[in-house]
Amino acid sequence: MISSPSHGLWRGSVASTVAFALALALLLPLPSTAAAPLAEDQGGVVLVPTSGPLVSVRYLFEVGSKDDPKGKEGLAALTASMVARGGTTSLRYEEVLDRFFPMAASLDGACLKEVTIFSGTVHRDNLAAYIGLSTEMIASPRFAPEDFERLRDEALDYLTKTLRGNNDEALGKWTLQSALYEGHPYGRPDEGLVAGLKAITLDDVKSFHRDHFTQAALRLGLCGAVDQATIQQVREGLAQLPPGEVRAEALIPNAEPIKGLEVTIVSKPAEATAISLGFPLSITRADDDFYALVVANSFLGEHRTFNGRLMRDLRGKRGLNYGDYSYIEDFIQDGQSTFPIPNNHRSRQYFSIWIRPVPTEKSVFALRAALWELDRLVEKGMTLEEFEGTRSFLLNYSKLWVQTLSRRLGYELEGRLYGRKDLVTELAERLPKLTLEQVNEAVRKHLKVGGMKVAMVAGDAEALRERLTSGKPSPMVYDTEGTADEVLAQDKEIEVFPLRDLKVRVIPVEKIFE
Amino acid sequence: MKPQILLAVVLASASLPVPALAGDEPKAAALPYPIRRATLDNGLEIVTVPFDSPGIIAYYTVVRTGSRNEVEKGLSGFAHFFEHMMFRGTERYSQEAYNDVLKALGADSNAFTTDDWTCYHMTIPATALPTAVEIEADRFQNLRYDEAAFQKEARAVLGEYNKSASSPFLKLEEAIADTAFTTHTYKHTTIGFLADVKDMPNQYAYSKLFFDRWYRPENCTIVVTGDVDHEKVVELARKEYGGWARGGRSVTIPEEPAQDGPRNAALTWPLPTLPILALAYHVPASDPSNPDVAALRALQEAVFGETSPLYRALVLDEQKAETLTAYADPHRDPHLFTVFARGRRIEFMPEIRRRIGEALDSAARTPIEHDRLRSIQSHLRYAFATELDSADAVARAVGESIAITGRPDAVNETYAAYDRLTPADLQRVAAKYFASGNETAVTLETKDAP
């Protein structure tokens, strides 16, 4: 298990060592007031006081799908499900639901690569009842056989039905991650693999919970009008968790460098072609260069905005598809919002471009267009005007990432895992000092790579393979009028953009994630 | 002429929501913030909801036009398509210039369209209010785009259809609407029939008519929530929107006749998928003064929610269903109450359908226990209170209230109606709406399933 930065917030016995650090509320939208933790290194609970009627709670464990034993892929996520959507030693799951129902609350569980988060937001009228129930669920799960069967079947259905047959965009993204991290602890959906899930027993789940869901692995945060009595209640509620040990640092290796363009086509019935492409990065939020790349990436493809060049050029000027974005971190959208979920801490990150489904006959052009746009950024960099506009945008926009209690708390916890302040504060402090030269240098250093992996979900895989490997241009054919001359001239460059050292493999959809 | 401002203030209690379990005394308003209103003399309504949201506001433009308004054949999906066109610029602010302004503000800005309304929303620093009023007032009055931009955007909409088409839920939703409705425009989904989406590049002339018909002040409301001064919003709106001319055009939305017998549709999916059953029943429009509406919402929880006996049996104990739920999304005209089940195996589906029917029969025969109803009322109140966690969420709730009923405070009436419910109300609606003659059953299963 990877060890996070040394100033952990909850170490040793919960009952004996809790001294909570008070992280000041992030007063929006003034960057200068953002989080000034008073006692960050003392350990304890992250407490973000606010005055409203709601309280958010986050129980974060430093365990994730990377900790799945070989042959039991999916164990971490299934264990998290058994906590969040199963009974307790004193309550069957249906009784848990009965308790939550009048408060309109739940314990949401999310198992990601390196962390598992249980969280909820509740009205303060119900806070004591919520803390009592949620801590019991985490510390004393029932591990009932009927819950195990239900939740394992759900996970299997997700892999074999939902991912393979109901959502080509998610299928493309998980195919990319699986390809990028082949043979690596990150190289599969967090839900696991079909064979791994089938091999898991209820005893495996019990052991995994006992070994990994410990006080040593826990970081806890509360946001809202909470007092010492609440802290004490949490402390007592989680006292049954084993103390565990702060494990020695076990570095997650980076993925192997990629040579050339390695394309994985997932073959399935599909009307359009979903595309994701990317490569591993050597930096994370712990590195200074990351913050320079934040600016360049926002300029290239800020998620679900019209600011990014990819979106403006591919969708806006060409009508190619619904959206085109880029990322320098794993990005999981938070519900219907535009923002990523907080607390997706990873010690290894990757760059990616997401091309939303394009008409099949335009898929090779779309791939080339994405590569061409990235190449243009690397070779030409940003102008001063582009840099200043994007930096100004980010300084304001990032304040919106912490609008809700739960998100605010999530960012507070997350910064500590990277050994940094929360991301919003880091940006507020760093961006004003950043220079254009630093950004363009970071782009050349980290985004100019020898190779890349590509995932394409397509209906006629062999025809796509042929088009990719033919060496022929892939001209954009418009069925709309009035394309600008400048765009048509770019199209001529894009249609012959080299697909260097191309390797293509086709995986039938029924074989993937097996 | 200087626009005359009619000012009305609806003050809800600023106290916190209280649990319905507290007793039978009158409850505080569900929305725990004051709603303030003004109407410009061109008919544009201004609604503000000031509350503690330091430095942040949500700025919404609610257009009471959605796919419900698409009465012309071959033009389904146009309300949504037009939502896209609203980002294509004006003479004063080109598309790029408009985006640059939003970018400089660090705005979280987008739009969405439903059956009944189109919503343009942004979350921005409170200090950016004058800029927001200026750029929004400009595009709603002076939108300008050429045919080339129109055609490119039409293909982005096809891309939006394509991104959803790998999910069986798009196909399912299309079939439910198309089968349950014969006459009303709810017969098509908001994104529209695929053939119409493909034909959109050819409808440039119609798009001008669409803008002229619906993007008029009397059909729109500006909602600003969070760290906002009502008088300031009104002053800015009067300056920037005051010259916006009324339209007065309208169309007649055809009424859906009463269903005259059971209807069915059977769909297949080319890949392995869990079998789906959707049972849809016509129910009244979401008028909070109709007690049946609140009763149906509570019935969803009572019969199909996670704590219902049927859910417990089918999903948790017997594990014959992976999903069981019911929904009746708020609509301006009579719409549907839909029961949705995903089975674990195809052979379980006949039994799942039978037991859904039995549960509804039972709800019609036997009144719900008082404590259980209290628990449902508490759930609905706290669910709403928990939802109101940002300026955007408050604006969304108020915007929907306006879109569906024309009144921002109808959201409070809805929650007050929940508090008045009795077991007899649930029993009554269970007996009234779920006859087989009012039912549309849509199934979806893997193609060539054994």
Distances (CA, A) of B442 to B324, B329, B435: 15, 18, 16
As a dihedral over the C-alpha atoms of residue A385, residue A391, residue A392, residue A396, rounded to 10 degrees, the angle is 160
| Averaged pLDDT for residues A454-482 | 96
Q: Which domains does chain B have, with CATH numbers?
A: 6-23+32-241 (3.30.830.10), 263-446 (3.30.830.10)
Each residue's pLDDT tens digit, A161-219: 999 999 999 999 999 999 999 999 999 999 999 999 999 999 999 999 999 999 999 99
Assign a CATH topology to domain A260-511. Answer: Cytochrome Bc1 Complex; Chain A, domain 1 (3.30.830)
Question: Residue A53 and residue B100: Cβ atoms within 8 Å?
Answer: no
Each residue's pLDDT tens digit, A119-166: 999 999 999 999 999 999 999 999 999 999 999 999 999 999 999 999
- The Cα B49–Cα B226 span in angstroms is 6
Q: Where residue B449 falls among pLDDT bands split at 50, 70, 90?
A: low
* Residue A53: closest CA among B32, B76, B367, B350: B32
Looking at every residue in chain A, the average pLDDT score rounds to 90
ipTM for this prediction: 0.92
Residue A508: closest C-alpha in chain B: B271
- The Cα A440–Cα A443 span in angstroms is 5
- The Cα A317–Cα B88 span in angstroms is 11
Q: Which residue type, as a one-letter code, is found at position A407? A: R
- pTM beyond 0.80: the answer is yes
- The Cα B254–Cα B181 span in angstroms is 11
Cα of A152 vs its chain's centroid, Å = 23
Give every CB contact of residue B116 below 8 A, 6+ residues apart in sequence.
B64, B66, B68, B331, B332, B403, B404
Residue A224: closest C-alpha in chain B: B389
Buried/exposed A231-261: b ≥16 CB within 10 Å, e otherwise:
bebbbebbeebeebebeeeeebebbeebeeb
A451-458 and A272-281 beta bridge pairing: antiparallel
Question: Residue A357 and residue B163: Cβ atoms within 8 Å?
Answer: yes
Please name the helix (run of DSSP H) or strand (run of DSSP E) that holds residue A358, with its range, or none.
strand A349-359
Q: Where residue A18 falls among pLDDT bands split at 50, 70, 90?
A: very low
* Contacts B305 to A, Cβ<8 Å: 101
| Averaged pLDDT for residues A243-255 | 81
- Give the neighbor-by-neighbor strand order of the sheet with B335-343: B263-269, B439-446, B276-283, B335-343, B321-327
User: In Å, how far is A435's CA from the nearest CA of chain B?
Assistant: 18
Q: Which of B55, B158, B274 lies nearest to residue A30, judging by beta carbons? A: B55
- The Cα A180–Cα A262 span in angstroms is 10
Which of A306, A333, A382 is the best residue to mutate to test the B interface, defined by the most B CB atoms within 10 Å of its own CB? A306
Each residue's pLDDT tens digit, A269-300: 998 999 999 999 999 999 999 999 999 999 99
Assign a CATH topology to domain A14-237. Answer: Cytochrome Bc1 Complex; Chain A, domain 1 (3.30.830)
* Contacts B102 to A, Cβ<8 Å: 306
* Contacts A392 to B, Cβ<8 Å: 103-104, 106
Question: Does residue A3 carry a pLDDT above 70?
Answer: no
Q: Where does B109-249 have alpha helices with state H?
A: 129-142, 147-164, 168-180, 194-199, 204-214, 230-241
Confidence (pLDDT) at B4: 36
User: In Å, how far is B410's CA from the nearest CA of chain A?
Assistant: 22
* Residue A409: closest CA among A11, A6, A135, A50: A50
For residues A157 and A192, the answer to whether their CB atoms sit within 8 Å is no
Confidence (pLDDT) at B448: 79
Confidence (pLDDT) at A226: 86
Each residue's pLDDT tens digit, B368-381: 999 999 999 999 99
* Residue A457: closest CA among A265, A205, A322: A265
- The Cα B419–Cα B361 span in angstroms is 24
A349-359 and A324-327 beta bridge pairing: antiparallel
Q: Which of B109, B151, B269 lies nearest to residue A319, judging by beta carbons? A: B151
Q: Which of A97, A168, A318 lies nearest to residue B166, judging by beta carbons? A: A168
Q: Determine which of A9-23, A344-358, B290-304, B404-418 has the lowest per-residue pLDDT on average.
A: A9-23
Q: Which of B16, B269, B389 lies nearest to residue A165, judging by beta carbons? A: B269
Every domain range in chain A assigned CATH 3.30.830.10? 14-237, 260-511
Each residue's pLDDT tens digit, B307-334: 999 999 999 999 999 999 999 999 999 9
Retrieve residue A254's tokens: 């980076």
DSSP B20: G
Question: Does residue A36 carry a pLDDT above 50?
Answer: no
Question: Residue B159 and residue A392: Cβ atoms within 8 Å?
Answer: no
Q: Where residue A22 falls among pLDDT bands split at 50, 70, 90?
A: very low
Confidence (pLDDT) at A502: 97
Q: Where does A181-287 have alpha helices with state H?
A: 194-199, 202-212, 228-237
Question: Residue A123 and residue B385: Cβ atoms within 8 Å?
Answer: yes
Question: Residue A396 and residue B125: Cβ atoms within 8 Å?
Answer: yes
Confidence (pLDDT) at B248: 80
B439-446 and A218-224 beta bridge pairing: unpaired
Which of B166, B344, B419 is the best residue to mutate to test the A interface, defined by the most A CB atoms within 10 Å of its own CB? B166
* Residue A209: closest CA among A242, A186, A237, A239: A242
Which of A267, A302, A400 is the best residue to mutate to test the B interface, defined by the most B CB atoms within 10 Å of its own CB? A400
SS3 of A32-86: the string is: HHCCCCCCHHHCCEEEECCCCCEEEEEEEECCCHHHCCCCCCCHHHHHHHHHHCC
